[in-house]
């Protein structure tokens, strides 16, 4: 369902051979490797851009049809051409490097910013988001927009990960041919940033930018064998990003290595007057500093699982055997690196869904096995959604008649056959709120979320056991870290198989290091030490160099 101009641009670009050969194995190349190749003159921005466009044509549009790239930037080759004489440097660390951004991140160019919604099909942004401004200033080539779960998975209950009415369904590159009875991927491509993750896993770009409210960076990174950083809320500006909830929203990098994620944080972590949450920002001068193989030695790593308290083990206790084996092997690597493993249950007071934080929403999704039943949803998400999305549509969206969440609901109802395959129950619930965040239930829910996740959850746990980080399997710890506003760093941990009682090819499982506010550098150093010792990332099969 991608727009014809974007598809034509990719086809034309793929048909043109690069004048400068790429003396670099592009598949599974790190962004750092690509920067070195550019700096040494072994390739150019134009040659790289053409090569990635060719891979998009071969594997995203054709072949397994991964469908991870919603639209290409028609100016990508022109931008690359202007950067051919500029090599990566301290001042422009990303010069000539092609990067995809999730299609809820505004670009003030010819590309629409749609959040995957038919209602916003032709909508443009008044300006670049702060994230895109920083990428451009660092010399990146904005290659295009990645597909996503529509409105970052806040439109409908039980919408499949990676599906949008405008972009269609993203597939997991480790099992692209395996579908369930409804035609959805049997192996999920991950959360709402699935397109961003799949594109990096399949080597369709050097790196990408996704977003997370709760799990939308971590889950797709886990499913696609990637590194990601879900930053402290306020480390990366959200100005110009189609929102869900400002209390939790953040952008973050998706890369093939820990060093690459740190390099992107160097560019993106900056104060921005357009986002007040960035005012207290704290960061090192260089996120790649002190990356050593012995960074894990003496680190106290909390594992929220205690054999003496099996009933209080929501993170490790119910893991399938293959996932449990991956985590046991990961913990053994950490011990061999000199980490102090502290096995202790998380305080039950820190569990999610505390008093007054949830509400019931009727599930009308016609394809859901739970249709007709009330489903628990977060109050903060739904109440902030209306206020924040209305502000984005008012302040950022152009070339569209859509100016409110009510307009989107009305458009979807008028175009239900195409726009409402899975319904819009979450938007309906959000639109019933005042939209100004003055309700008592909202203020109480926000306070209780912070009390449970931060004060009685992460803070209490880390203080009691004097921890440097907390280890979670996959994206299992996404909710508590997200609600606390705290950072998480994921790194590939191993491979598992099987989904919903079906046999599947092997696909990745990540491990997550979570910590306190502004501790990204510490978490990255720990993740780097683990990455170097384990070397668990393997690219998807069946996507060879062209």
Residues annotated as catalytic (active site), given as ranges: 102, 192, 216
Cα-based torsion angle of the residue sequence 521, 282, 248, 273 in order, rounded to the nearest 10 degrees: -140
Asked whether the beta carbons of 137 and 227 are under 8 A apart, the reply is no
Instruction: Give the span between the Cα atoms of 529 and 534, in whole angstroms.
Output: 9
DSSP 419-452: H-SS--HHHHHHHTS-SSS--HHHHHHHHHHHII
Residue 14 DSSP SS3: helix
Structure-token match 């409402």, residue found: 420
Residue 418 DSSP SS3: helix
CA 355, 357, 360, 364 torsion-angle sign: negative
How many Å separate Cα 532 from the centre of its chain?
23
Instruction: Give the span between the Cα atoms of 412 and 99, in whole angstroms.
Output: 31
DSSP 254-276: EESSHHHHHHHHHHHB---TT-G
Instruction: Give the span between the Cα atoms of 62 and 7, in whole angstroms.
Output: 11
Q: How many CA atoms lie within 13 A of 220 on its CB side?
A: 44
Q: In this structure, what token pair is assigned to residue 203?
A: 């080597």
CB atoms within 10 A of CB 370: 11
Residue 91 neighbours by CB under 8 Å, 6+ apart: none
Instruction: Give the span between the Cα atoms of 299 and 532, in whole angstroms.
Output: 16
Buried b (16+ CB within 10 A) or exposed e, 470-502: bbbbbbbbbbbbbbbbbbbbbbbbbbbebbeee
Q: Residue 207: what are its φ and ψ, rounded to 5°?
A: -165, 170
What H or E segment, with its residue span, contains residue 102?
strand 98-102
Query: Strands, E, within 147-287: which ranges?
Result: 163-164, 168-169, 207-212, 227-230, 250-255
């Amino acid at each position: 369902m991608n727009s014809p101009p974007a598809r034509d641009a990719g086809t034309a670009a793929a048909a043109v051979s690069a004048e400068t050969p790429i003396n670099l194995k592009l598949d599974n190349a790190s962004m750092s490797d690509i920067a070195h190749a550019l700096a040494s003159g072994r390739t150019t921005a134009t040659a790289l851009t053409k090569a990635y466009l060719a891979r998009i044509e071969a594997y995203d549009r054709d072949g397994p049809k991964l469908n991870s790239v919603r639209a290409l930037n028609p100016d990508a080759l022109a931008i690359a051409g202007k950067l051919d004489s500029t090599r990566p440097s301290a001042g422009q660390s990303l010069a000539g490097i092609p990067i995809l951004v999730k299609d809820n991140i505004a670009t003030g160019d010819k590309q629409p910013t749609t959040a995957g919604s038919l209602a916003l099909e032709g909508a443009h942004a008044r300006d670049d988001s702060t994230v895109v401004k920083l990428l451009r200033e660092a010399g990146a080539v904005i290659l295009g927009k990645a597909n996503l779960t529509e409105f970052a998975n806040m439109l409908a209950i039980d919408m499949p990960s990676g599906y949008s009415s405008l972009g269609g369904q993203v597939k997991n590159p480790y099992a692209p041919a395996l579908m369930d009875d409804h035609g959805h991927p049997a192996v999920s491509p991950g959360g709402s940033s699935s397109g961003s993750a799949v594109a990096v896993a399949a080597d369709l770009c050097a790196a990408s930018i996704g977003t997370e409210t709760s799990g939308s960076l971590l889950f797709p990174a886990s499913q696609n064998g990637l590194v990601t950083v879900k930053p402290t809320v306020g480390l990366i500006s959200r100005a110009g990003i189609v929102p869900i909830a400002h209390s939790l929203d953040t952008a973050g990098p998706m890369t093939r290595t820990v060093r690459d994620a740190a390099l992107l944080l160097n560019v993106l972590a900056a104060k921005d007057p357009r986002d007040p949450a960035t005012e207290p920002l704290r960061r090192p001068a260089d996120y790649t500093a002190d990356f050593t193989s012995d960074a894990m030695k003496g680190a106290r790593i909390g594992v929220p699982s205690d054999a003496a308290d099996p009933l209080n083990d929501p993170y490790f206790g119910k893991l399938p055997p293959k996932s449990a084996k991956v985590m046991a092997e990961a913990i053994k690597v950490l011990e061999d690196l000199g980490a102090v493993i502290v096995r202790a249950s998380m305080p039950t007071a820190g569990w999610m869904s505390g008093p007054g934080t949830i509400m019931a929403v009727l599930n009308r999704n016609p394809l859901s096995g739970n249709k007709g039943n009330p489903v628990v949803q977060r109050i903060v998400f739904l109440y902030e959604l209306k206020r924040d999305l209305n502000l984005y549509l008012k302040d950022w969206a152009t070339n569209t008649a859509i100016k409110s969440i009510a307009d989107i609901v009305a458009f979807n109802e008028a175009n239900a056959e195409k726009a409402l395959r899975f319904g819009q129950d979450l938007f309906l619930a959000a639109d019933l709120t005042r939209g100004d965040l003055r309700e008592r239930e909202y203020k109480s829910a926000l306070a209780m979320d912070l009390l449970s996740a931060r004060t009685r959850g992460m803070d209490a746990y880390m203080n009691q056991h004097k921890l440097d980080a907390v280890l979670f399997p996959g994206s299992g710890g996404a909710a508590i870290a997200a609600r606390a506003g705290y950072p998480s760093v994921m790194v590939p941990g191993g491979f598992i198989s099987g989904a919903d009682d079906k046999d599947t090819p092997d696909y990745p499982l990540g491990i997550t290091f979570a910590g306190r506010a502004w501790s990204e550098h510490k978490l990255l150093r720990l993740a780097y030490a683990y990455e170097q010792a384990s070397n668990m990332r393997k690219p998807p099969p069946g996507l060879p160099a062209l």
